[in-house]
A and B are shown apart, each in its own frame.
Chain A
Amino acid sequence: MVADLRNLISAEWLKLSRRPLGWILLGVFLGLMLLYLATWALIVMLHTSSLNGGRARFAVLSPAQITEIQRQISFPGIFGAVLGQVNSTGGICAIILAAGFLGSDYNWGTLRVLLTRAPHRGAYLLAKLITLLLGLMAAILLALLLGTLLALVCSSTLSLPLHLRPRDLLALPVGILRSLYVILPYVIITLSSAAFGRSALAGVGGGMIFLALDVSAGSLNTIGSINPLVRLLVNLLLQPNINTLVVLNSQLFGLDQSVLLSSLDLALLPSPFQATLVIAAYCVCFYWGAYRLLLRRDVMGAH
């Protein structure tokens, strides 16, 4: 079983690493991330008048917000900002990638070719998921590298402090794993949807619809203050729990997202322990759904 899984991961990695869609999505994600960070840098430039020779100042944001933005484009906050992007635009890219990764095997009829090689269907699904997570981890590392370069540029051009302590670097693995954990339920619901609809389109549709519903439902956390029961129910939704881990990741690198977004106030969100458990429960349910679909249904030709 372990040898089978290793073989399958190796095969899936070959497919993923050669797939143009993966590289395109990586390019889109890194491009959007750079745009986001460059916008913050521009705002800081406008605020400090370093762009227009002191003729005008950017006064829309409060000093606290400007300080927070400065933290996001300098060390160690850049890591939190990059990981924040991983959990927003990166999540959408991950959904598209996951849908294509499993759904295409249905679309092209290659699923039946792989499954006639006798692997257990569960091993096939697990190999897909592990390979996807490895791919996403590689993308996160690349994004962090790019963020580091940007922070170095910003530090020199905007005279921002260059504080990079060993403990910030040691916190990186925790941050990366937490970011992956946050993406995981969306990736798995996408795999389930692709298996249910037997196509990449069904995967994208399922993943995106879930994301939209979840984000909408997540806004209900403001009514959590009505009474403890409502708060308990709202906190069983995925989004508030995701937000908890996203905020924790920001704080890990000295950021305070609540300065920019009041909905990311940790006082209103579920506890880290509950967040971890709730996300795990969603992941298990979604994975079980995908596994049962793949195991019980017949596999025929291309769709």
Chain B
Amino acid sequence: MTQCGTISRFSSDVVFVVIHMKAAIVTESLTKRYGARTAVDQLSLSVGHGEIFGLLGPNGAGKTTTIAMLLGLVTPSAGRAIVLGHEVGRGPSPALRHVGAMIEAPALYPYLSGYDNLRVLARAGGIAEARIATVLQMVGMADRARDKASAYSQGMRQRLAIAAALLPTPELIILDEPTNGLDPAGTVEIRDLIRELAADGRTILMCSHLLHEVEQLCGRVAILKEGRLIAQGTVDDLLCRDSRIRLRVAGDQERAILLLRALPWVRGVVAEGDLLLIDAPVTRVAEINAYLARNEVAVTEIGARERSLESFFLEVTSGR
């Protein structure tokens, strides 16, 4: 079991092989170097079937390069990537037929209509054209599908790119900034769509700068910084949601700290101004309150510490 906020890594080939049989994506020491610059540095991560996995990191962290390696667009300098049980190399991988992807900005043929853009991809992939109407409906673009792509707004281009990713009825969907440019209603629609797809058993790997969105959607996340994996785990684990209590007392704060440290299940107490942060199971809140009251320490505020993915992200990526 991973510890709160720590990095989990694979240590041996045996573990790697066992995991990749059950995972939709596994990378082992995946590395990409461009001359002296290392864009992705020994990245080892695993994405399970049917999960929504968030790949986070500041600009230039190596997220897009990682995705491009998973899709066979970029050749790794070292390490390997296994997608849906097949190793992805420079040549075509059979697994990629079951992958839908949207990388970076939506890429469309401006002189074609939205419908014809999808027709090109359907023909190229040997997909029945009847599927086009279905995916257009899924992303809410059926009404504007006959308009030229050059006339589309950013949000419409985004929707069409998602439709393109869904065209091959993929088992694995890779989405880079899926709600970029969408209005609030569109954002909610696409989030709901992502949830529906995951509920349907599809695996989703998504990159997003909207951390609250990732927090809402993703079960697990990995955070990259300068090409390196600096944190990986479930959102709850990373945010230590079940093990941090905040407390404010009316009287002697020092005495309260001493009293709390005496409890066997309290792993630590830190003062942040007039607030005490207790490293203890959130389920013990009532017990702490009663204990301090018995010892004549008046509690003015107590509860689970609210910590957002955003604050955690900033902490680990910028050292705040």
Contact = CB atoms under 8 A, between A and B. Distances in A.
B168 to A, nearest CB: 7
Contacts of B109: 15, 104, 108, 110
A245 to B, nearest CB: 34
A227 interface: no
Given A18-B112, A120-B92, A299 B74 contact: yes
Interface stretch (A6-14, A197-205, A209-217): A6-14
A3 interface: yes
Interface stretch (A51-59, A85-93, A111-119, A280-288): A111-119
A300 B68 contact: yes
Given A117-B168, A300-B73, A301-B103, A7 B91 contact: no
B74 A300 contact: yes
A117 B111 contact: no
Contacts of A4: 126
B263 interface: no
B99 interface: yes
Given A108-B107, A116-B99, A118-B94, A14 B123 contact: yes
Interface residues of A, number: 32
B125 A15 contact: no
Interface string A1-37: 0011001101100110011100000000000000000
Contact of B124 (A109, A119, A120, A302): A119
Contact of A109 (B72, B90, B107): B107
Contact of B93 (A113, A118, A298, A299): A118
The 5 closest A-B CB pairs, nearest first, are A109-B107, A11-B124, A118-B96, A11-B123, A298-B74
12 contacts: A7-B126, A14-B116, A14-B120, A14-B123, A108-B108, A109-B104, A110-B108, A117-B96, A117-B124, A121-B92, A295-B90, A299-B68
Given A109-B105, A299-B73, A300-B73, 20 more contacts: A3-B126, A7-B124, A11-B120, A11-B123, A11-B124, A15-B109, A15-B112, A108-B108, A110-B108, A110-B109, A112-B71, A112-B73, A113-B107, A115-B71, A117-B124, A117-B168, A118-B93, A120-B91, A300-B68, A300-B74
